[in-house]
Structure 1
Amino acid sequence: MAAAMLGIALVSPPSSALFVLPPSSNSDWASPPTPFLLGASKASLSSSFHICRARVAWRLPTPRMVVSCSGSSQACLNPDANPELDQLRGKKIYRRDRQNVDLPAILPKNKKKPFPIPIQKMQRAARRDKKLAEMGIEKHLEPPKNGLLVPELIPVAYEVLDYWKVLIKGLSQLMNVVTVYGCSKCPEVHVGPVGHQIQDCSGTGSEQRRNHHSWVKGSINDVLIPIESYHMFDPFGRRIKHETRFDYERIPAVVELCIQAGVDLPEYPSRRRTSPIRMLGKKVVDRGGYVEEPKPPRSENCMSVLAELDTYAAQFEQPPLPASDTRRLAERTLKAYSTVRRGVRQLMKKYSVKACGYCPEVHVGPWGHNAKLCGAFKHQWRDGKHGWQDATLDEVIPPNYVWHLLDPNGPPLRTSLRRYYGKAPAVVEVCVQAGAEIPESYKPMMRLDIIIPDSEEARLVV
């Protein structure tokens, strides 16, 4: 009774007992007095009980860690010196594998996209650059911010460009085996033998069609959304103006990123600097002068190379493949897709890629162009200019999520069962239906562990 009044816990554990290691905050814990037991001597107490002297809680918080205590009281007094605790810290007790993952939320069109980098961090960097400029100190720039190439990323750029060609060629061949549909009224895409019956169309005349989609035969641009950018001979040279926008050719943003990262294509020449540029604040002090852009050759061989880099030239019909080669082609195409995304992510950590915060426009280079082509939310306030910010990987290579079919030959998808369906990028869905194995990274969003019930069974689900 007295021990309970004093807030002392006396236990008689076996040789390996469990006790809770409390937090080390002094505000929540108080040191108890020396423990004692009525009617028992010190010798009997020490022989009958293994007492771990610990701080006793006057209010019990949530325990943080369970520590294995051996028979030695010294190990209990200093749990940090316990070798079993060290082993426990180095082990993963639970595997935190994701089972089902929700897709990223669709951003509203009447708001600006969030900044990938916190605005406070950008403001601190701007104030630091402004302070150095006022002191007359030039900004220290590392490659490729100073116009020089990064030698370690040149092989990565060549690898991305090679797999980009494999991806385009593989998709153009797989679309002869896998059917792709696109809605003629909205951007919805479906991969399967027949279009789904989910009523989520928001295009023109959707009210008369009760939000049903108007399916037409799709193309490779519905699977791999083309994101183009202006090709610039000198990214640090003159900026593109609205009047001079037709003097520059538009190519896929992935190809332009590879060119600026060190890939040499005779069709798209690029300036390679030998001396770095110098900047004072936001002003370029020395860029090595302006160099006139050479005219690229336009022969038949050059046109064939350009056709491999653009999805618009891959829409021609190709002969169908045998069933034995279709699966290998699907696996090779899926590997090319993952390699391109991984390589582009690695290049974007060094090379600047800008995206408009209101529309899908992308520009590869340190500064965005000045073409007044933005027609998104409140473009009148900006005089049609883009709101440039740092781009993300999904803005350069949009995943274009589509509904996943567990059984392509089964019944079409229905609106009442849409919460049981999963989604996947369109490229992944095409390759999976062609016979490729589902990658581990896309399994959580496909909801493969969910059994789709019948319409009558779905009514009984709470």
Structure 2
Amino acid sequence: MANWRHKMWRSLSSFQEASSYSTTSSRINKSKADDLRKIRPMILRRIENRAKDYPIKETVPVAEEILKARKIILSNVTVLLKLFPVLTCKFCSEVFVGKEGHLLQTCRSYIRRGNNRLHEWVPGSINDILVPVESYHLHNISQGVIRHQQRFDYDRVPAILELCCQAGAIHPEEILQYSKIHDNLQISDEDIMSLSAGDLKYVGATVVMAWEKVRAGLKKLLLVYPSKVCKRCKEVHVGPSGHKARLCGVFKYESWRGTHYWEKASVNDLAPEKVVWHRRPQDPVVLVDEGRSYYGQAPAIVSLCSHAGAIVPLKYACKMKPQGLSFPFTNSVPIHET
């Protein structure tokens, strides 16, 4: 009997403690919510005052240099693509600079449901060399967060142009017209075919220098202007806070569906280095899978410029293996003439 009373008393006391804890916790949460309502106007005021400091005058020349270098890259890469063929896989994002694709079993497409298959090559375009990265265009840096139902109310522009716009190099109302004019350059085929070998070498060297200028300038601007990237789907947002559009994992093969997981963006998020297999002079015409450890790799734009005769910077030499040994090629794979 005494044990039963003791158990009842202990359960009653624990229930009273839990109820008192819940009431105190609810009071604490209510007080915190009241405090947040009071300080919300102050937070919004600080955000608006911070926006008055932008754009910073010292960063305007850096953004202008990025725009000039980007224009040079787009025009000269268009010229090189008319003379040097670029292939891309039909099922994955693999790219190869050359007349014939390689035979490396690296196709990992979700459509074919295989991890190691041969690629099916089709002609590529400039978007395979320079990966397009877009973001929402903000009217000002202090505007509110873009909600999911507002995702169609804002224009999508290249992320580099949006960053330069916030840096003061482009007027916000002129960014769409700027993108249409500078991203659709027309160059006649007669001018391209009349280029000599020395001219091609100069064009390739100019592209490499402009590519390095763009990446160096983006590194400087990202230290001043906040930019976000999703950890899961690589969505980029140029601004102090990410948007609320639930676009992460919208494709069938992606495991996550919902809001983005934002983190600080880097240069490779705005200007990705698409690494491809690079064929060296000592390599066979068609790269085979058995010599994968012998062959070199390089960013697609660097590989394209090296085919034009440009001297590649030394920081890419460790991956490109210019003086490395080649795979002991056999006659099992036919050699195609170049």
TM tier, shorter chain? 0.7 to 0.9
Give the secondary-structure state (helix, strand or coil) at the position aligned to 1:176.
Answer: helix
Give the corresponding residue for 2:285.
411
Render the CA deviation track for 1:187-221: whole Å, top value 9, x for unaligned: 111111210111111223365x9711000000000
Query: What does residue 206 of structure 2 align with?
Result: 332
Residue of structure 2 equivalent to 1:435: 309
2:152 aligned residue (217, 223, 246): 246
Query: Is the contact made by 2:139 and 2:172 (CA closer than 8 Å) also made in structure 1?
Result: no
CA–CA distance in structure 1, aligned partners of residues 180 and 174 of structure 2: 13
1:176 maps to amino acid: K
Aligned positions of 1:39-438 closer than 5 A:
147-203=53-109, 204-205=111-112, 211-265=117-171, 267-268=173-174, 302=177, 305-310=178-183, 313=184, 318-319=189-190, 320-321=192-193, 322-323=195-196, 324-375=198-249, 378-380=255-257, 384-407=258-281, 410-438=284-312
Counterpart of 1:237, as a letter, is Q
What do you get for the CA RMSD once the two structures are aligned? 3.0
Equivalent residue for 1:108?
Answer: none
The answer (yes or no) to whether the contact 1:403–1:422 under 8 Å persists in 2 is yes
CA-CA distance at 1:308 after TM superposition: 4.3
Which sections of structure 2, spanning at least 5 residues, go unmatched? 1-35, 331-338
2:328 corresponds to 1:451: no
TM-aligned CA distance change 1:378 to 1:416, over 3 Å = closer
The superposition leaves residues 51-108 of structure 1 with CA deviations (integer Å, 9 ceiling, x where unpaired) of xxxxxxxxxxxxxxxxxxxxxxxxxxxxxxxxxxxxxxxxxxxxxxxxxxxxxxxxxx
State the Cα distance separating 1:425 from its structure 2 match.
0.5
What amino acid is the match of 1:379? Answer: W
Letter in 1 for 2:223: K
Offset, 1:407: 2.2
Give 3-state SS (helix, strand or coil) of 2:92's partner: coil
Secondary structure at 1:419's aligned position in 2? coil
**Distance across 1 between alignment mates of 2:50 and 2:186:** 36
Q: TM-score with structure 2 length normalisation?
A: 0.76
8 Å CA contact 1:165–1:308 kept in 2: the answer is no
Q: Which runs of 4+ in 1 moved over 4 A?
A: 136-141, 143-147, 314-319
Stretch moving more, 258-267 or 184-193: 258-267
By how many angstroms is 1:445 displaced?
A: 1.3
Given the superposition, is the C-alpha separation of residues 227 and 172 from structure 1 closer, same or farther in structure 2, using an over 3 Å criterion?
A: same
Distance change >3 Å, CA 454–CA 145, structure 1 → 2: farther
1:238 CA drift (Å): 2.2
- What amino acid is aligned across from residue 256 of structure 1 in structure 2? E
How much has 1:379 moved relative to structure 2? 2.9
- Per-residue deviation, 1:316: 8.2
TM-score by length of 1: 0.57
Shift of 1:223: 0.4
Q: Given residue 316 of structure 2, which amino acid in structure 1 is its aligned partner?
A: Y
The structural deviation recorded for 1:318 is: 4.4
Give secondary structure in 1 for the equivalent of 2:311. Answer: coil
Change (3 A) 1:138 1:267: closer
Distance 1:408 1:187, change over 3 A: farther
Gaps of 5+ in 1: 1-129, 270-295, 297-301, 457-462
**Compared CA separation, residues 360 and 217, structure 1 to 2 (3 A):** same
Structure 1 residues 233 and 414: alpha-carbon distance in aligned structure 2, compared to 1, 3 A threshold: same
Which deviations, in whole Å up to 9, do the C-alpha atoms of 1:351-395 show, x marking residues without a partner?
A: 101000100210000011111111175534xxx211111111111
Give, in whole Å, the separation in 1 of the partners of 2:206 and 2:266. 25
TM superposition shift of 1:268: 3.1
Which residue matches 2:3?
Answer: none
Contact 2:137 2:156 in 1 (8 A): yes
Task: Work out whether residues 156 and 343 of structure 1, in 8 Å CA contact, stay in contact via their aligned partners in 2.
Answer: yes
Cα distance change, pair 266–353 in 1 and its aligned pair in 2 (3 A): closer
Q: Classify 1:226/1:315 alpha carbon distance in 2 versus 1 (closer, same or farther; 3 Å).
A: farther
Distance in 1 between residues matched to 2:282 and 2:271, nearest whole Å: 26
Task: Describe the shift of the 1:153–1:394 C-alpha distance in structure 2 as closer, same or farther (beyond 3 A).
Answer: same
* Identity %, equivalent residues: 35
* Higher helix content, 1 or 2: 2
**How far apart are the structure 2 equivalents of 1:449 and 1:217?**
30
Instruction: Tell me how far apart the structure 1 counterparts of residues 67 and 152 of structure 2 sit (CA, whole Å).
Output: 25
Cα distance 1:306–1:137, how it changes in 2: closer, same or farther (>3 A)?
closer
